[in-house]
Amino acid sequence: MIGKSRKTRKKSAANISPRSTLRVDVWLMRHLQVALASLGRLVRTPLSTLMTILVIGIALALPSGLYLLLNNAKTLSGNWDGAASISLFMTQETSEQRAEQIAEQLRNDPAILKVQLISRTAALEEFRQLSGFADVLDSIKDNPLPSLLIVEPRPEHAEPIPAEALLARLRKIQEVEFAQLDLEWVRRFHAITEIAQRGVMILASLLGLSVLLIVGNTIRLEIQNRHAEIEITKLIGGTNAFIRRPFLYNGAWYGLFGGISAWLMVAVSLLLLDNPVAQLAGLYQSGFELRGIDFSTLITLLGGSTVLGLTGSWIAVGRHLHQIEPS
Amino acid sequence: MIHFDNVTKRYPGGHEGLSNVSFHIEPGEMVFLTGHSGAGKSTLLKLIGLLERSTRGQVRVAGRNLTRLSRGQIPYHRREVGMIFQDHRLLYDRTVFDNVAMPLVVAGLGHLEIGRRVRAALDKVGLLSKEKELPITLSGGEQQRVGIARAVVSKPPVVLADEPTGNLDPTLSREIMSLFEQFNDVGVTLLIATHDLNLISRMNRRILVLDKSRLAKDSAAEVPC
């Protein structure tokens, strides 16, 4: 029913003005003109435009920068996932030769990439050097330390679940006193990044809201400044859509340029961080490199900021345009 | 063309801008609307341009019942009614050309068509040489003529003028009136509100007199040529 009455209304509106039937190319041309005109309007007040853009840029750079750092941290932990290893402590009775045999057997296991044997003697020697208890150790007759096998699974077995299965299998070896999977801390790290991710999301929502408010407020002032123009346009038969259009383009431009400035801020910050991070990674003998904003993230950032700007101006225009009626 | 049937406009607070006014204006008529200030001249014009809506009664313009027109249709109605104001209502940050072009831009006409029609309208009011100037550099009479060019550029069948000569000296007023007569000659229906009785008494046109919100007199004597 509603649809029908709308249809007839549209029809009679068309009857009023046959000229209102626009051709597509004229329509596109108009949009392009309005878009460029609103851009020109922004350029004519460079200082205030720049300030608005920078405020939006900062508001967007914060969450995007944090998101990027988080992503980098994740790739870092991804490297560590691969390095998850299982420590097998042999019983005291196990001789070094037997430990060597077991290590050899395990090296042939398809799930295992590498096995490193730290023999009892070697362990004792290392402990003597590092602990500073050399005198105490000398007074003990028997070597209290067991042999240790460090088992590194193949990558496909390094994920938490298959790694647990491998651990259970290795525990069944008779000579193994105690087996430990060094995955716990990786899990904790995952949990922490999970929390950080949530935090970044919350921050992004709040700052996104602030972008809406910034653009909304800027457009509201713009509407006030152009009060006379809006009134006269309504007097000569400008539709609300026609009057709304330049303000919407304004908001979209603010959003887009805000997004670009956010991107530049993040890129410059990364550039500043790049050297120290490379140095730190070098200290850990790691080839880790900070990853910048990739193409799809950039598109998301710019698209999102444009939509935010558009929405902000839409809200402002919807609220304030109806209040201006010619008299 | 313009029909008022028992139209009353009551403002919030109880003041009546118009009380039970009825009249018909035929297509192609040129009619003056006069009366003391506060008699309801502006209210009557505003009802035709849908700046306000009647409280009671029916207003019809060019066959459209304005009482039933939805908000969304108001712009399309206004494109058919050219309005001229005492204070011109021009945009002072735009050139004469851009001011006159506004109704055509709003209606979505092409670039070339706009240029052609705006120059024709400016030529008609004798301001073709000033198209690139800002309205503020023009005299009062010239600014009024820019306003008139804007009102007629889209060739609306109805033109309303609210005290168009209010601030002009007699010579300029006569010029403006002769412009209106030229539009009327090509079939435009005009309704001109003015309190300049001297001017209109010599023009031999139909005169509607409003007094205290009521239609006091309708001299439907002379028929336009």
pLDDT over 70 at A175, yes or no:
yes
The confidence score (pLDDT) of residue A70 equals 86
The confidence score (pLDDT) of residue A1 equals 41
Domain ranges for chain B: 1-80+156-225, 90-149
Closest CB to B106: pick one of A27, A238, A325: A238
Total domains present in chain A: 2
Kindly write down the DSSP assignment for every residue of chain B, as one continuous string. Answer: -EEEEEEEEE-TTS-EEEEEEEEEE-TT-EEEEE-STTSSHHHHHHHHTTSS--SEEEEEETTEEGGG--GGGHHHHHTTEEEE-TT----TTS-HHHHHHHHHHHHT--HHHHHHHHHHHHHHTT-GGGTTS-GGGS-HHHHHHHHHHHHHTT--SEEEEESTTTTS-HHHHHHHHHHHHHHHHTT-EEEEE---HHHHHTTT-EEEEEETTEEEEE-TTPPP-
A284 and A167 in a common domain: no
Lowest mean pLDDT among A155-169, A194-208, B120-134: A155-169
Kindly write down the DSSP assignment for every residue of A233-284, as one continuous string. Answer: HHHTT--HHHHHHHHHHHHHHHHHHHHHHHHHHHHHHHHHHHHHHHHHHHHT
The confidence score (pLDDT) of residue B92 equals 92
pLDDT over 50 at A169, yes or no:
yes
Residue showing tokens 């139909």: B206
The more confidently predicted of residues B41 and A7 is B41
Instruction: Kindly state whether B150 is in contact with chain A, defined as any CB-CB distance less than 8 angstroms.
Output: yes
A215 and A298 in a common domain: yes
- End of a domain among A182, A207, A225? A182
Average pLDDT over chain A reads 83
The confidence score (pLDDT) of residue A232 equals 93
The confidence score (pLDDT) of residue A156 equals 77
The confidence score (pLDDT) of residue B98 equals 94
Domain of residue A110, CATH code: 3.30.70.3040
Kindly write down the DSSP assignment for every residue of A219-232, as one continuous string. Answer: HHHHHHHTHHHHHH
Residue in B19, B30, B80 with CA at minimum distance from that of residue B50: B80
Contact B102 A326 (CB under 8 A): no
Residue A134 lies in a domain: yes
| pLDDT tens-digit map of A85-103 | 788 888 888 888 888 888 8
Q: Which residues of B touch A238 (CB under 8 A)?
A: 75, 102, 106
The distance of B202 to chain A (nearest Cα, Å) reads 31
Q: CA–CA separation, A264 vs B177, rounded Å?
A: 62
The confidence score (pLDDT) of residue A22 equals 58
Q: Given pLDDT bands bounded at 50, 70 and 90, which one contains residue B162?
A: very high
Architecture of the B1-80+156-225 domain: 3-Layer(aba) Sandwich (3.40)
Q: Which residues of A touch B79 (CB under 8 A)?
A: 16-17, 19-20, 236-237
Q: Given pLDDT bands bounded at 50, 70 and 90, which one contains residue A79?
A: low
Q: Which residues of B touch A239 (CB under 8 A)?
A: 72, 75-76, 106
User: What SS3 state is found at A89?
Assistant: strand
pLDDT over 60 at A5, yes or no:
no
The pairing of strands B56-61 and B64-65 is antiparallel
| pLDDT tens-digit map of A228-272 | 999 999 999 999 999 999 999 999 999 999 999 999 999 999 999
A174 and A246 in a common domain: no
Q: CA–CA separation, B101 vs B91, rounded Å?
A: 12
Q: Which residues of A touch B17 (CB under 8 A)?
A: none
Q: Which residues of B touch A18 (CB under 8 A)?
A: none
Kindly write down the DSSP assignment for every residue of A157-188, as one continuous string. Answer: G-SHHHHHHHHHHHHTSTTEEEEEETTHHHHH
| pLDDT tens-digit map of B93-136 | 999 999 999 999 998 888 899 999 999 999 999 999 999 999 99
The distance of A56 to chain B (nearest Cα, Å) reads 29
Q: Given pLDDT bands bounded at 50, 70 and 90, which one contains residue A198?
A: very high
Residue A6 lies in a domain: no
Q: CA–CA separation, A304 vs A285, rounded Å?
A: 38
Q: pTM of the entire structure?
A: 0.73
Helix axes of A24-44 and A240-283: crossing angle, nearest 10 degrees:
60
A281 and A216 in a common domain: yes
Question: Amino acid identity of A237?
Answer: G
Largest Cα–Cα distance of chain B, in whole Å?
Answer: 50
Residue A20 lies in a domain: no
Q: CA–CA separation, A37 vs A195, rounded Å?
A: 45
The confidence score (pLDDT) of residue A210 equals 93
pLDDT cut 70: percent of chain A above it: 90
Q: What is the mean pLDDT of residues B5-33?
A: 91
| Enclosing domain of residue A108 | 85-182
Q: What is the mean pLDDT of residues A120-135?
A: 78
Residues in A whose CB is inside 8 Å of some CB of B read 9, 12-13, 16-17, 19-20, 22, 26-27, 29-30, 228-229, 231-240, 242, 325-327
The more confidently predicted of residues A4 and A198 is A198
Question: Amino acid identity of A288?
Answer: F
